[in-house]
A and B are shown apart, each in its own frame.
Chain A
Amino acid sequence: MAHLLDLFLVMKNHEQPRVLIVEDNDAMRVMLFTILRHQPLNVDTASTVEQALMHVLECDYALIVIDMDLPHRAAERFLREFKSRRPEATSFVIAVRDPNKHSVIDPLMVVAVLNKPIEIDTMAEVVRECAFLVPPPEEPLPCTKTPESEQYGRAERNSYLAN
């Protein structure tokens, strides 16, 4: 039974687009994660660009949602690094920014901009729509890690079963 469940999860994860949230504010990151993990998506998070780079070098993401207001223009640095180290990647990037700050957004890399404070329902809709538009890569990375959203869901299922 457990084997069948694992097989089902592998198949499900394979079909669902993978999304990465890059946000240094804990409350915002967990809030976005909690909302998106209930969509038919595999969701990972990163609180720093270093973590985000590790993620994108291991796995293909259909969509990356990144806070452009990370300190020291780290988001711009991440996008440059991502482009240089994964030039073949087909990910869509959605930038979240404070409209009163002057973050530099490269239109060649960023497909859409959401202004803060984010309209939560619009963001969920945009992410869901965009993530399914991205074609899977021709030569996908051999990503073996379980998405955080699935780990979370498994923990929830286990606690449910334990009760």
Chain B
Amino acid sequence: MPIEKRVLVVDDDDAIRALLCTILRRRGIPVDSARNGADALVRCEQCRYDVILLDLMMPELSGYEVLDTFAKRRPEDRPLIIVLTAGAEPRNLSPDLVAGTIRKPFDVDMIVDSISGALATVASREQLEECPPADSDGGNCSINPRVN
């Protein structure tokens, strides 16, 4: 399995997902995307992620519920999570789970810097055996992520 540092983008907005995937892919960062919290949790069962960009308001399973799931994990087994916010800033996010928040519409450089900085401090790890190649592999940042 490849040794890598992988990022997961979780947002129900197709354009945002495609945009972030494309931006990060161009910087050589393996990226997967998920369109809601449920999809994100499935991805997290299959693959190791070092950074997750997480929208909060999503259908099926919200970002808050994804955070609740990660809260049950040991701190060393949690990825670094950056929350993407729209509108009023959420006040009830735990700093133990969330490294920072970025408001939409986001500054692309700020997102890239945040992710690059966060990835710089983690060691590359071998991916899980059941983890498929990243969505960004082969230059594919389709707005329709692979259905699991």
* Interface positions of B from 82 to 115, Cβ below 8 Å from A: 82-83, 85, 89, 93-95, 98-103, 106-107, 109-110, 113-114
B51 to chain A, nearest CB (A): 9
A26 to B114, CA, bound (A): 13
The answer for the CA separation of A38 and B7 in the assembled complex, in Å, is 22
Q: CB within 8 A of B113: which of A38, A98, A100, A118? A: A38
User: Of B82, B95, B102, B103, which is in contact with the most chain A CB atoms at under 10 Å from its CB?
Assistant: B95
Q: Which stretch, B20-28, B29-37, B117-125, B138-146, touches the partner chain A?
A: B117-125
A120 in contact (CB, < 8 A): yes
Contact code string A94-124 (vs B, CB < 8 Å = 1, else 0)? 0000101000000000000000111111111
Q: In the complex, what residue of chain A is closest to B122 when comparing beta carbons? A: A27
Asked if A35 and B113 make an inter-chain contact with CB atoms under 8 angstroms apart, the answer reads: yes
B9 in the interface (beta carbon within 8 A):
no
Check A34 against B89 for contact (C-beta < 8 Å).
no
Q: Can you list, as one digit per residue, whether each of A10-34 has a CB less than 8 Å from chain B (1) or not (0)?
A: 0000000000000000111111111
Instruction: Note all chain B residues with C-beta closer than 8 A to A35.
Output: 110, 113-114, 117
In the assembled complex, the Cα of A29 lies from the Cα of B122 at a distance in Å of 12
Q: Which residues of B contact A31 (CB under 8 A)?
A: 99-100, 113-114, 117-118, 121
A117–B110 contact, CB under 8 A?
A: no
Contact A117 B93 (CB under 8 A): yes
Total residues of chain B contacting the partner, CB 8 A: 26
A64 CB to closest chain B CB, in angstroms?
19
| Given A119-B101, A120-B82, A26-B121 contact (CB < 8 Å) | yes
Q: Which residues of B contact A32 (CB under 8 A)?
A: 117
Chain B nearest CB, measured from A122 CB (Å): 8
CB atoms of B116 and A117 under 8 A apart: no
Is the CB of B8 closer than 8 A to any CB of chain A? no
Q: What CA separation (Å) do A28 and B120 show in the bound complex?
A: 11
A35-B110, A100-B95, A117-B99 are known; give 10 further A-B pairs, CB within 8 A. Answer: A27-B80, A27-B122, A34-B113, A35-B117, A117-B83, A117-B93, A117-B101, A119-B89, A120-B101, A121-B110
Residue contacts A-B, CB under 8 angstroms, 29 given: A26-B121, A27-B99, A27-B121, A27-B122, A30-B117, A30-B121, A31-B99, A31-B114, A31-B121, A32-B117, A34-B114, A34-B116, A116-B95, A117-B93, A117-B94, A117-B95, A117-B98, A117-B99, A117-B100, A117-B101, A119-B89, A119-B102, A119-B103, A120-B100, A120-B101, A120-B102, A121-B102, A121-B107, A123-B100
Question: Closest 5 CB pairs between A and B?
Answer: A34-B117, A116-B95, A31-B117, A117-B98, A26-B121
User: Chain A interface (Cβ within 8 Å of chain B)?
Assistant: 26-35, 38, 98, 100, 116-124
